[in-house]
Amino acid sequence: DQVFHIVPETFQQVQHLQHLCSTLLLDLWKPQLPEDIRTGEDLHIRVPAPLVQKMKDSLDHHMISYKVLIPDLQKLVDQSMPKERRSHRQVPEGYIYTQYHPMEEIYQWMTQIQKNNSELVTQHHLGKTIENREMYYLQISQPSDKTKKIIWMDCGIHAREWISPAFCQWFVKEILQNYKSDPKISRFLQNLDLYVLPVLNIDGYIYSWEKDRLWRKNRSPHMNGTCYGTDLNRNFNSSWGTVGVSYNCSSETFCGSGPESEPETRAVAQFIERKKSDILCYLTIHSYGQYILTPYGSTTKPPSNSEELMHVAEKAAAALMGKHGTSYKVGSTSLILYSNSGSSRDWAHMIGIPFSYTFELRDNGTHGFVLPVDQIQPTCEETM
């Protein structure tokens, strides 16, 4: 694309330029509107690359002199971008999964992923956040005549746990890149549908990029806007408000004004409730600590299928360790971590989803929430 600088000399030239703008649908940078084009005044027009020659011919034909202000707009745009983010912004083929991405890019990524894998992936609307942002999940589903059971995975319920959304994106990429060639994945998809919510707490995530890297909660206002945020993982209707929570908005574990008081919680809960008879497994991804946590956090009483839950989790931890030697602890939240009520994992199990797990990804506290980018790949590989 090029940007032209023209100073019309006569009214006829003005008319012709206005005509060109409307017929070629050119992007007028200065002035704002065609009707404001005047003789003797600067005109800056962006001309898309395929129309550049046509534009030049037309100007020459009407004896309108011009200068090319910007001969290569894309180059200028690329140069003005911070180095690492440049040409990889738009396309998942060039999408860098070993970097953390802001929400804007994740939205674009979802659209592209669906576009590039439309035989398998559909993007669906789940609800809206408190700040009115759209929540979407990706459904990875191989066309088949049988109804399949569902595995649900959500990431980013806590804003500062950046490795979590990074993992969800990685997961989707791995599945889509390998489902044809990897027999395990291919068998998986024959029998199961995967539902992935890359960022649950969108407002919080954005806030952690723009204002406070260590923000955890959502961004719902309380006390007349003097205090913000409910801990979404204390807001579910599972023994809500009983243990490991605060009723004070200024706390990081504020459980909200009531169970499912937050739109983000409701959006997820309503969907899962509707589909619960088909959902086999509920996974929620957090950091840090390196744990695979089973229900419950709200009580030490074991869930009905506790043995099976533990068995599967132990196998998962062993497989994970096999990749890079990272050790994960496995067990019930209330026994190995701390007590907490209102968690999504507890709630999912309580409404009947048999396998419900919280993953706490790397690391052990050395970097904590601010996991360096060079650990994104190994973390995702082992978790996969």
Nearer to other proteins, 4 or 205 (CB): 205
As measured in angstroms, the least distance from the Cβ of 364 to other proteins is: 9
Nearer to other proteins, 351 or 373 (CB): 373
100 binds other proteins (CB under 8 A): yes
Nearer to other proteins, 231 or 382 (CB): 231
As measured in angstroms, the least distance from the Cβ of 89 to other proteins is: 16
Token pair for residue 99?
A: 């970097």
Comparing CA positions, the residue from 358, 207, 200 lying closest to residue 286 is 358
Which residue in 29, 66, 188, 209 binds other proteins (CB under 8 A)?
209
Kindly give, in sequence order, each residue whose CB lies less than 8 Å from that of residue 25, ignoring residues fewer than 6 positions away: none
Which residue in 16, 216, 219, 345 binds other proteins (CB under 8 A)?
216
* Part of the chain binding other proteins (CB under 8 A), chosen from 8-16, 194-202, 245-253, 255-263: 245-253
As measured in angstroms, the least distance from the Cβ of 212 to other proteins is: 9
Nearer to other proteins, 224 or 277 (CB): 224
Nearer to other proteins, 66 or 209 (CB): 209
Distance CA 232, CA 382 (A): 27
* Cα 195 versus chain centre, distance: 13
214 binds other proteins (CB under 8 A): yes
338 binds other proteins (CB under 8 A): yes
Nearer to other proteins, 22 or 98 (CB): 98
Q: What does residue 10 show for φ and ψ, rounded to 5 degrees? A: -130, 165
329 binds other proteins (CB under 8 A): no
Distance CA 6, CA 260 (A): 59
Q: Which amino acid is at 171?
A: F
The question of whether 161 is a catalytic residue gets the answer no
As measured in angstroms, the least distance from the Cβ of 175 to other proteins is: 26
Cβ atoms < 10 Å from Cβ of 48:
14
* Part of the chain binding other proteins (CB under 8 A), chosen from 106-114, 244-252, 261-269, 305-313: 244-252
Token pair for residue 191?
A: 């029998």
As measured in angstroms, the least distance from the Cβ of 17 to other proteins is: 47
* Part of the chain binding other proteins (CB under 8 A), chosen from 175-183, 190-198, 251-259, 309-317: 251-259
213 binds other proteins (CB under 8 A): yes
Interface mask toward other proteins for 281-300; x: CB under 8 A? --------x-----------
Which residue in 252, 261, 335, 350 binds other proteins (CB under 8 A)?
252
In the set 174, 360, 381, 382, the catalytic residue is 360
As measured in angstroms, the least distance from the Cβ of 220 to other proteins is: 17
As measured in angstroms, the least distance from the Cβ of 214 to other proteins is: 5
Distance CA 184, CA 252 (A): 40
As measured in angstroms, the least distance from the Cβ of 295 to other proteins is: 19
Which residue in 253, 332, 341, 356 binds other proteins (CB under 8 A)?
253
Q: Which of residues 362-381 bind other proteins (CB under 8 A)?
A: 365-373, 375
Nearer to other proteins, 255 or 312 (CB): 255
Q: Which amino acid is at 96?
A: I
Distance CA 164, CA 181 (A): 26
Q: How many residues bind other proteins (CB under 8 A)?
A: 24
Q: Which residues have a catalytic role annotated?
A: 360
Interface contacts to other proteins, rule CB under 8 A: 99-100, 208-209, 213-214, 216, 231, 250-253, 289, 338, 365-373, 375
